[in-house]
Amino acid sequence: MDHQIAKKRYLFFKDVTFESLKILREKFYYHFIDASPDPETVKSSLIKELKYQSSTELNNDTFDKISEIPLASEITSNAR
């Protein structure tokens, strides 16, 4: 990617998108995930955040039960 294009996209994010996200956060709570580390670290952060969010929205018994349900991609791989 061209350095100038990346810089322009970052500045747009910082000046426009980020400001909108900060306003939105006043109504809907969310976490930012730093995407600057290596891909495995980012993946780990995403998984940790998704597990945290899921666990806060459901009681522990419900979360434990549904976490055992296979993903749709696993189920459909054996479908006819």
Domain ranges (residues) in the chain: 1-30, 31-80
The C-alpha angle with vertex 48 and arms to 39 and 34, in degrees rounded to 5, equals 45
**Residue 62: per-residue pLDDT:** 77
Per-residue pLDDT tens digits for 1-54: 688 998 999 899 888 888 888 888 888 777 788 888 999 998 998 888 888 776
**Residue 54: per-residue pLDDT:** 66
The residues near 33 (Cβ < 8 Å, ≥ 6 apart) are 42, 45, 46, 49
Report yes or no: 45 and 34 within 8 Å, Cβ to Cβ.
Answer: yes
Q: What gap in Å lies between CA 77 and CA 65, rounded to an integer?
A: 22
- The model carries a pTM of 0.44
